[in-house]
Structure 1
Amino acid sequence: MSTGLLSVDLDALVSNWRALDAMTQGETCAVVKADGYGLGAAKVGRALARAGVRRFFVAVAEEGAELRQALGPNVEICVFSGHMRGDTDMIGDMMLTPMCNTIGQLTRHLEALPEHPFGIQLDTGMNRLGLEIDEWASVAEIALSQNCRLVISHLACADAPDHPMNRQQLEQFHLMTDGISVPRSLAATGGILLGPEYHFDLTRPGVGLYGGMPFADARPVAHLDLPVVQIRDVAEGETVGYGNVWTAQRPSKIATVAAGYADGLQRVLSDRATLWHAGQPVPLVGRVSMDLITADVTDLPDLPGSLSVLGADQTVDALADQAGTIGYEILTSLGPRYARRYSGG
């Protein structure tokens, strides 16, 4: 096979959801935006639905429509971006629940789809999406008298447990919502790990389902193996790849591997990332190019047919650290050329 193999362990995904669900007393939902964090929303969604998830979150209505086609009518699909202009027919036809973020969105929804369910997103300090406290005060009575399904907000610093912003947002959420009868939600993965006072009626884990931090106990879900196209002998003093940025300091065996920045291996990983073979680290040498990378396999006892990038030896966050980014970006950048294989679930 000339492309990399992205293996998705749906049993690990479900195990991660169950572990997070066990930490909470309320409903545990699932975030499957960005095509299931790059791993395939349809298959991820089906596995989670079979495990018991009844409410999913996506970023935009188009994602919600695709998920509805995959999952059928028996789950709720909530849209973080709310009721955007031009989305009315899709929201209605596909039975989506928009999280209204502005008074304008709420007005649009109630006028266009007066009996259709919706949610409200509140801004508790992140200054990204949601109604601010004065806006909410002006429409709360109207919104809560309609078919409002839930009221949510989002934590800005949940991956840093000691950050004072967490407590500040928790207090603001209480101030804005205490006393309402509609279910409330504040916690994603990081918020779940902050403890029960952040959980409210439902939680909505995302990256932790897929094996990412801050859920340190998550099982790896994505396993990426890349085929070796060629192995060549390189003499001491010879260079490898674009720009001559790596020079062999000894006689070396260099594997040319079929993946590059078109496949989500960022160019910043040049001459710094680690690949793996049978538990042994293999340094990436030279520049990452569009379709190819090169790795020094001199110290391996056997010449490999493939090298691993993600899996038991290297988590998405370990690779992200080498790239100076976060596991979310690694997952959602995995390219379309990889052959995908799903197991379990």
Structure 2
Amino acid sequence: MTPAAATADAARPGSVPTLVIDTAAVTANVRTMGAVTRGEVMAVVKADAFGHGTVAVARAALAGGATRFGVTSLAEAFALRAAGFTERILSWLNPTDADFAAAAAHGIEVAVPGMAHLAAVRAAPGLDVHLQLDTGMARDGASPDEWIALCGAALAAQTAGELSVVGVMGHLPCADRPADPANAAGRARFDWGLQAAQELGLTPGDHHLAATAATASDPLSHHTMSRIGAGLVGIDESHTAPLRPALTLTAPLVQVRDVTAGTSVGYGHSWRTPYDTRLGLLAVGYADGLPRLASNRAEVLVGGRRRPVVGRISMDMTIVDLGPDDGYEGAREGDLATIFGPGDAGEPTAAEWAGWAETLEHEIVTGLGPRLHRVTVGDPPVDSNRPTLTRIR
């Protein structure tokens, strides 16, 4: 089924709000990102692949040339293994009491951001680890003050046969603004950290600093691998890569009514009709991920034209003004509204919704709720003979 066919199917009277995930877009996006980096592409499929569906996106990413996966928690890594993926997987956000023994058993690589985590993974022999350096965010990773000690202790653990240091990783703080001096400082700190690790005797094969925005806009941040997460699904905060959004959200009009000028609409009467018009009701609201802050700001596409969202977006409902420019006299229950999509037909994009809600596209797509009916289209064929890159222990 094509995205257009799936969207048309959602338009039938009595249908439900539907989220169409186009995995062909994911495959194309990975190819686009792979073309601008000299290293491997790690497909970061955390948070249910940014709300797009982990398994479908992971499969599409492999079809586009990704060679391994990145996730935050071990639970996400175990889910990939349970789904049959045997590629290398790195998990980088775990508490010190995480089940590192299970991680070792499933061949999951883990990040080590400090001495406490190093002690925890040493107690679960056999893990491959990526030492994580804070490159300017005061968030995850070891500070420069503790980096030398961490590398030395990791070398001792490796010499004792307790673990293998296979990577060094960091993250740039302002990659969405390529010219920001914080990025140059982050690159310099990462280069220093990598050199320090190597001078101590560590030989990590993986060096990775760039995520999507840095991969697209900052070649100096490229090392042996780039971590592509938001870029998989068409989001690039640097706005420098020609990526395609992978989501289309539609909902049918469940009720249409004619109202006179001066009619108050929705909770708090935050909008009143300045003219005689026709209103349409969509059975989708903030429980489904539409941001309430976009009330009286957002637009949707109905009848080939953009129509404004009026009144406050409520938990289950959103109201749109269908007139009065042409009166849209043919509007009826069951007609389809496209809330956002790639923009091909003039519909709003998730980026526009993010602007109306004063947030990021990431928050829009990861916040979409479970009530939405999901349809996946464009799945690449499954190649049961494709080579795997690691052995599950």
Check whether TM > 0.5.
yes
Q: Select the residue among 348, 365, 375 that pairs with 1:341.
A: 375
Alpha-carbon distance, 1:196 to partner: 2.0
Q: Name which of structure 1's ranges 240-249 and 29-38 shifts more when overlaid on structure 2.
A: 240-249
Alpha-carbon distance, 1:279 to partner: 4.4
DSSP-derived class of the 1:117 partner? strand
| Deviation sequence 1:199-231 (CA, Å, 0-9, x none) | 111000111211113245211200000111000
DSSP-derived class of the 1:29 partner? strand
1:303 counterpart residue number: 331
Q: How does 1:121-270 map to 2 (within 5 A)?
A: 121-144=132-155, 145=158, 146-178=163-195, 180=198, 181-182=203-204, 183-214=206-237, 215=239, 216-270=241-295
**8 Å Cα contact 2:27/2:63 also seen in 1:** no
Could you list the runs of 5+ residues in structure 1 that have no partner in the other structure?
A: none
DSSP-derived class of the 1:123 partner? coil
| Count of aligned positions | 343
| Deviation sequence 1:280-325 (CA, Å, 0-9, x none) | 2110000111100100012446426121111122221111000010
**8 Å Cα contact 2:178/2:218 also seen in 1:** no
Query: Which amino acid counterpart does residue 137 of structure 1 have in structure 2?
Result: I
Alpha carbons of structure 1 residues 177 and 279: separation in structure 2 relative to 1, 3 Å = farther
* Inter-partner Cα distance in structure 2 for 1:290 and 1:234: 23
2:348 counterpart residue number: 314
DSSP-derived class of the 1:204 partner? strand
1:106 counterpart residue number: 118
**8 Å Cα contact 1:234/1:251 also seen in 2:** yes
TM-score (norm. length: structure 1): 0.95
Q: Name which of structure 1's ranges 232-241 and 91-100 shifts more when overlaid on structure 2.
A: 91-100
DSSP-derived class of the 1:178 partner? helix
DSSP-derived class of the 2:171 partner? coil
* Inter-partner Cα distance in structure 1 for 2:34 and 2:170: 19
Alpha-carbon distance, 1:268 to partner: 1.0
**8 Å Cα contact 2:34/2:65 also seen in 1:** no
2:31 counterpart residue number: 18
Query: Which amino acid counterpart does residue 184 of structure 2 have in structure 1?
Result: R
**8 Å Cα contact 2:34/2:41 also seen in 1:** yes
TM-score (norm. length: structure 2): 0.83
* Inter-partner Cα distance in structure 1 for 2:77 and 2:151: 26
Alpha carbons of structure 1 residues 84 and 55: separation in structure 2 relative to 1, 3 Å = farther
Runs of 4+ in 1 over 4 A off after TM superposition: none
* Inter-partner Cα distance in structure 1 for 2:146 and 2:94: 16
* Inter-partner Cα distance in structure 2 for 1:24 and 1:213: 15
* Inter-partner Cα distance in structure 2 for 1:162 and 1:50: 33
DSSP-derived class of the 2:351 partner? helix
| Deviation sequence 1:243-264 (CA, Å, 0-9, x none) | 1111111111000001001000
Could you list the runs of 5+ residues in structure 2 that have no partner in the other structure?
A: 1-13, 380-393
- What percent of counterpart residues are identical? 35
Query: Which amino acid counterpart does residue 99 of structure 2 have in structure 1?
Result: D
Q: Name which of structure 1's ranges 301-310 and 157-166 shifts more when overlaid on structure 2.
A: 301-310
| Deviation sequence 1:64-115 (CA, Å, 0-9, x none) | 111221243x211111214630322431333211111111111111222x22
Alpha carbons of structure 1 residues 278 and 221: separation in structure 2 relative to 1, 3 Å = farther
Root mean square deviation of aligned Cα: 1.7
2:359 counterpart residue number: 325
1:86 counterpart residue number: 98
Q: Is the counterpart of residue 68 in structure 1 residue 81 in structure 2? A: yes
* Inter-partner Cα distance in structure 2 for 1:50 and 1:240: 48
Query: Which amino acid counterpart does residue 320 of structure 1 have in structure 2?
Result: A
**8 Å Cα contact 1:46/1:70 also seen in 2:** no
Query: Which amino acid counterpart does residue 70 of structure 1 have in structure 2?
Result: A
